[in-house]
């Protein structure tokens, strides 16, 4: 039982390049999330998916797209990376499709640097 | 709208001393409150949460937090810290009623000094 896994762990991009961050969970959770963590700003929600086939914008969605490929996988794509997207990205999941009481389970993060 | 404030960005404390990490929230409706911990180079993991009932909630590793509605606070305490408690601690708030966005605080880095 690996929990939430993310790939890659580290990535360096040049401005304008694209890439996809992968996330998978093996806990049969319905909801999945993408956050970014920046110094002094805590975690900010980029996108979330309450169930397979649905996605919704979070607090900072500009410059990102997501795909809920199936119940297990939720990917985050940067189409044209910008230095402002340098951050640590966390994927998380929670059991239900819409209970705010749920605990969120986080992956280990992807450290992205955009030059 | 809801918000959460963690005024202390860093808290140094000697091993075996007590510690309090402060968290204040703002919301016009009832809230659920969480403390998450992030150990170096890891993702966040739940430490404890308040949903309803007893205002004092405890974690398995000796931390406790008390929900204080009148002061809109949810401070985290431990009577005696260990080196292994060195981590960053995030307070988070959400509201009842289906899916509600979780708002995280900016985090407090606890540094336990030997």
How many Å apart are CA B11 and CA A112, to the nearest integer? 28
Contact state of B99 with A109 under an 8 Å Cβ cutoff:
no
Find the CB nearest B99 among A42, A50, A107.
A50
Unique residue bearing structure tokens 């640590």: A88
Contact state of B107 with A42 under an 8 Å Cβ cutoff:
yes
What mean pLDDT value characterizes chain A?
Answer: 93
Task: Give the 3-state secondary structure of residue A109.
Answer: coil
- Position B101 scores a pLDDT of 80
CA quadruple A85, A39, A9, A47: dihedral sign: negative
- Position A107 scores a pLDDT of 95
- Position B98 scores a pLDDT of 67
The rounded percent of chain B whose pLDDT value lies above 90 is 75
Nearest to B83 by CA among B39, B46, B44, B42: B39
Find the CB nearest B104 among A43, A108, A109.
A43
How many Å apart are CA A100 and CA B92, to the nearest integer? 12
- Is residue B56 exposed (0-12), middle (13-18) or buried (19+ Cβ within 10 Å)? exposed
Neighboring chain B residues of A25 at a CB cutoff of 8 Å: none
Contact state of B32 with A104 under an 8 Å Cβ cutoff:
no
Q: What is the DSSP letter of B23?
A: -
Contact state of B43 with A4 under an 8 Å Cβ cutoff:
yes
pLDDT in tens, A34-87: 999 998 888 999 999 998 889 999 999 999 999 998 999 999 999 999 999 999
pLDDT in tens, B32-83: 999 999 998 888 999 999 998 889 999 988 999 999 999 999 999 999 999 9
pLDDT exceeds 80 at position B100: no
A43 CB within 8 Å of a chain B CB: yes
Torsions phi, psi for A64 (to 5 deg) = -130, 155
Report whether A5 contacts A105 (CB < 8 A). Answer: no
In B, what residues contact A, Cβ < 8 A?
9, 32, 34, 41-46, 49, 51, 90, 94-102, 104-107
Cα nearest neighbour of A91 on chain B: B43
- Position A1 scores a pLDDT of 67
pLDDT in tens, B1-32: 788 999 899 999 999 999 999 999 998 788 89
pLDDT exceeds 80 at position A3: yes
pLDDT in tens, A92-105: 999 887 677 888 99
Neighboring chain A residues of B44 at a CB cutoff of 8 Å: 43, 90, 92, 104, 106
pLDDT in tens, A19-49: 999 999 999 999 999 999 998 888 999 999 9
Q: What is the DSSP letter of A37?
A: E
How many Å apart are CA B10 and CA A86, to the nearest integer? 23
Report whether A32 contacts A102 (CB < 8 A). Answer: no
């Amino acid at each position: 039982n690996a929990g939430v896994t993310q790939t890659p762990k580290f990535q360096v991009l040049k401005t304008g390049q694209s890439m996809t961050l992968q996330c998978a969970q093996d806990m049969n959770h319905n909801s999945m999330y993408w956050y970014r963590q920046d110094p002094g700003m805590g975690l900010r929600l980029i996108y979330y998916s309450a169930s397979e086939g649905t996605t919704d914008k979070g607090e900072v969605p500009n410059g990102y797209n997501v795909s809920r490929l199936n119940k297990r996988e939720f990917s985050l794509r940067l189409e044209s990376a910008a230095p402002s997207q340098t951050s640590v990205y966390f994927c998380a999941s929670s059991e239900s499709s819409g209970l705010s009481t749920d605990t969120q389970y986080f992956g280990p993060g992807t450290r992205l640097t955009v030059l | 709208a809801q918000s959460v404030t963690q005024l202390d960005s860093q808290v140094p404390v000697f091993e075996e001393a007590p510690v309090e990490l402060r968290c204040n929230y703002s919301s016009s409706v009832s809230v659920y409150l969480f403390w998450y911990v992030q150990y170096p180079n890891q993702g966040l993991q739940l430490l404890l949460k308040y949903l309803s009932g007893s205002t004092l909630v405890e974690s398995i590793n000796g931390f406790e937090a008390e929900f204080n509605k009148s002061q809109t606070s949810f401070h985290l305490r431990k009577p005696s810290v260990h080196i292994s408690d060195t981590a960053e601690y995030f307070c988070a708030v959400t509201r009842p009623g289906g899916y509600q966005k979780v708002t995280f605080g900016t985090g407090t880095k606890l540094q336990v000094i030997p």
